[in-house]
Structure 1
Amino acid sequence: MSSYPTSQDVLDDLGDKVVNALATALDRASADLREYRAWKPGHVAAMTKRGLANYLHDRIMDHVSQLLDDDSSVHVPRTEPTRDITIGLRYRIRIKKHDNVGRVATYPTQGALGFFLQTPTLLGLIGLGETKLCVGYEWDNDLGVMARSVVSLHDGYEDPPVWVVDLPAATPQAGTGVTVPVPPAIGPRAPVIDISPKLGDNREENEDQ
């Protein structure tokens, strides 16, 4: 590929809705793993690296599908074996686990290796070809948790990534039940007026009757 879009060009082109949906899907998958580990710690501990990665991949894809179901420009396939997210005709995305320098792992099939080769842009012009991205998470081997949420661009599987950057943090969405706590008011309290009848008043009123 004679030239590459910058990470900021890509994020701007994807748009806030798609970027936020991807970040939210990763956050929710991380929460799913915490919930699963709390429920069945033995099951999670016994998982192979591949099995755990597959579990997280399925959770992320499910969340992306739900979050972008109403966007006609986004296609999230529900069938196997290849599950690339496409954004219009410009972007093809695969969910991937990354190491701390942005490398990803895959079985070296012809299709998998082909994904990591960027399509030459027509006449060398950016924007007239399909750009393939990896979106996912950096895995913390020590803690066994999802760490940074990242997006990366590669051109060749065995080569280092062209770039890898943090995915902007997800913002709360309407209807998610997220509430913002209201701090207690600081300052003098308003006076309280007691308008309940006095015991002595009641006695006098009864005696008059």
Structure 2
Amino acid sequence: MTATHKPSLLALLSACLWAATPSPAAAAERGWYAGVLTGLSGQSDQTLRLEGSAPETGKAAFSSGLLAGGAVGYRFESGWRLETEFTYQSVDRDRAVFSNPALQGEGNYASTGFALNALYEFDLFGSPRARSYLGAGVVALTEVDIDFETTAGERSFSGDDSALQLLAGVRYDLGERWFLDLGLRQLRASSLRLEGERDTLGRVRGDYRPWSLTLGAGWRF
């Protein structure tokens, strides 16, 4: 899936939700909610830098991966929402172009993190059940890990850092309590420093910028 297809896909799926028969909803009321989500992740090719006794720069090509997580939040009558969230996401790496044979082959680029998100809901579709939203979050990446699967075994580099994420989507009420959530997000962390876990190869520096198309379900207290 290319980046140019993501907004059109979101618009199509949102329109399908809007087309359902509307009924009055209590969504405009303030209150607590909780939800879980899963999704498909991807990331563009990234430049990785190996630092240590034999420094070099290589290119890594990525394909798709998965995201899973959950959130607890509070909605204000003004349309603003604040929520805390935990997510795990991973993208598979097809190849890495390094001359060092210990840093070649397939692998993945994964993270776990806690986020504090601020989101604003607005009426884009004219339906009492569907509410669009835009938002941003501050993310504490508790672990970022990149693995290299080679003939000599797995080589891993890991670390922690902070990041920002942007979010957009639509929520659709199934009733007074339950809702579905369809969203797009991108997480951006630059110049991560990932230390070698079991060897003396040094460290890997690189950007971590996965995007995700998510589907979630939740319940208002």
TM-score > 0.5, shorter chain as reference? no
Q: Which has the higher strand share?
A: 2
TM superposition score normalised by structure 1: 0.28
Q: Which has the higher helix share?
A: 1
Larger Rg: 1
